[in-house]
Structures are given as C-alpha cells and as structure tokens.
Structure 1
Amino acid sequence: MAIDPAVIGTRLPQCRMTVDPARLRFFRKAVGADAGDDGTVPPTFLFSVELESPDPFGWLRDLGIDLRRVLHGEQSFMYHRPLAIGERLTASPVIADVYSRGEGALDFVVKETAVTRGDGEPVADLRSVLIVRNPT
C-alpha cells in the first residue's frame, strides 16, 4: 500500500524532556557505552527524545502502517551546539517526505525533527528514514 504523499508536511505531536543524569546513565547502559557521569551527552542521545511521548509510534498507525512491517533505515543528527545536563528540550517532528521503491515493494517515510531548548534556541536537527515492507 503506497503512503499518500498528502501527508508530507504533517506536523506530529511535540515531545519534551530534560537531559538529566539518570536518563543519561540509562541511555549509556542501553547502548553499551561507558556508564560514567562525565557530564557529556552522547551524540546519539537525541534519538530517544521522541520516545518520551506516550505513544511514540502512534503516528505510523495513524498512517495505516502495520508496525510489524517497519524497518529503521537511517538516522542522522546535525548539532548546532553541544547538549548540557539539565537542559529542557522540545522536539518538533514533521513528515518531510514519502516515496516508494522496488515497484511498490517498499515505502519510505522521512521524518525531520527540530530540537530546541525551552527558550527556542536550536539544539539539533534530526532526520530518520523508516522503511515499510509492503505485502507482495
């Protein structure tokens, strides 16, 4: 099932989180990194910001996508400045693109997320590509 290109530009619910030491320890442990509290925030930490929402994959179900058919295709991060412990962040995601490949066997959903501090200062821009395997 091809995803309707009309969803391009759809703004998804914002998520908020605070960068705190306990959350960083949990993240470091989950990714197998050093669990020390050295004050640095791993560059891939922001992958988890949108997972803070009550239903982080609800937007995919709203598009009619069967979550069992979703693959994580790509993730990128562009930081505007380093993160600091204690910062309050807001993630504002939008569906940036959808397209098909392989004669419709695969659909791709590109999501771009602007991450800002509480005062609106840009922190990072995230980009993820999800692949949907369509029934053959």
Structure 2
Amino acid sequence: MPIDVEKAKALPFDPLIVDVERGRLRFFGCATGQTDPVYLDVDAARAAGHPDLPVPPTFFFSLGLEAPDPFGYLDRLGVDLRFVLHGEQSFTYHRLAYAGDRLTLTERIVDVYAKRGGALEFLVRETDVTRAGEPVAQGRSVLVVRHPEGER
C-alpha cells in the first residue's frame, strides 16, 4: 500500500529532550571505533580546548532511538517494518555538543517519493537538534520501503 504523502508530511512528532551523558559518549565512541582520545577521555578533551567530551559524528542518530516508540510513525503510516531498509543518512553541523548538554530533537517528514513503478518508496525525514533553542545539527535520513506486490 503506498504511503499517503500528505498524511506523512502532516504527521506530528513530539519533541524529544535528551541529556547527553559521558558514559554514553564513551560507549558510542568505542562502538564506532573512535581512536581520538578527545572522544573518550575528559582530560584529553579539555587539553584540546573542549569543556567536556564532545559528541562524536553520527551520535545524533542514536539519540532519536530514545523516543518511547521510535518507529511508531511508520505504523501510523501503514508501513510494515519487515519491508523497511535504511537508505541514507547525512548531517549538517552548526556547533559542537558536549557531555552534560540537554538537547531537543524535533523531527518531521519532508518528502515521500516512489521509484520502480511504486515497488520502492523513499521516506525522507529531517531532525533538528537544538540546545537552549540554538541549532546544533540537522540530520536527514532516508528509509526505503519495499512493496513486493509492486515489483515487476
């Protein structure tokens, strides 16, 4: 079943407020293979001029998974998770974030388009990350929804 584009674009998302914790940053840094001690050691971060551990690249994506039901919007759009693939992800950074920051994530769906005669739909979502109302980053992700009945 095709995604209703207007419904998707109008779908409300509650803002998500997240406190960035040092332990979580260290875990993420280790899990993603960070070798720069600035991301793992507070003393190294401070020696490099940071007030605390900086948020590593792509960390913002993991924050969105802290929502009570991070994929609930797909269910509201009638999308079966068995047919969802991660298509792409990008970030635009405005300023650094650090351990101890309280960040607000505000999501919205900005586009839905189809390819291969409707066999594939692409759902484009943007996430604004702010700290005290100031922009920190913007994430953009594309999910691919496969419609087996639309394949030719």
Deviating more after overlay: 26-35 vs 49-58: 26-35
Distance 1:65 1:22 in 2: 35
* Pick aligned residue for 2:136 from 110, 123, 127: 123
Task: Calculate the TM-score normalised by the size of structure 2.
Answer: 0.83
* Pick aligned residue for 1:92 from 89, 106, 121: 106
In structure 1, the partner of 2:115 is 101
Deviating more after overlay: 94-103 vs 9-18: 9-18
- Three-state SS of the structure 1 residue aligned to 2:148 is coil
Aligned-pair distance for 1:30? 2.8
User: Could you say which structure has the larger radius of gyration?
Assistant: 2
In structure 1, the partner of 2:145 is 132
State the one-letter code of the partner of 1:126. Answer: G
In structure 2, the partner of 1:21 is 22
Aligned-pair distance for 1:9? 3.9
In structure 1, the gaps of 5 or more residues are none
Deviating more after overlay: 10-19 vs 84-93: 10-19
Bigger relative contact order, structure 1 or 2 (CA pairs below 8 A, ≥6 apart) = 1
In structure 2, the gaps of 5 or more residues are 46-52
Task: Give the helix-richer structure, 1 or 2.
Answer: 2
Aligned-pair distance for 1:33? 2.9
State the one-letter code of the partner of 1:90. Answer: T
What is the aligned residue count?
Answer: 135
Distance 1:93 1:40 in 2: 23
Paired residues of 2:25 and 2:40 also in contact (CA < 8 A): no
Distance 2:10 2:90 in 1: 19
Distance 1:85 1:21 in 2: 5
Distance 2:61 2:34 in 1: 15
Deviations 1:14-56 (A, max 9, x none): 2111111111122123323347224232111101111111111
Paired residues of 1:72 and 1:130 also in contact (CA < 8 A): yes
- Three-state SS of the structure 2 residue aligned to 1:97 is strand
What is the RMSD computed on CA atoms of the aligned residues?
1.4
In structure 2, the partner of 1:54 is 68
- Three-state SS of the structure 2 residue aligned to 1:99 is strand
**Percent identity over paired residues:** 54
- Three-state SS of the structure 2 residue aligned to 1:2 is coil
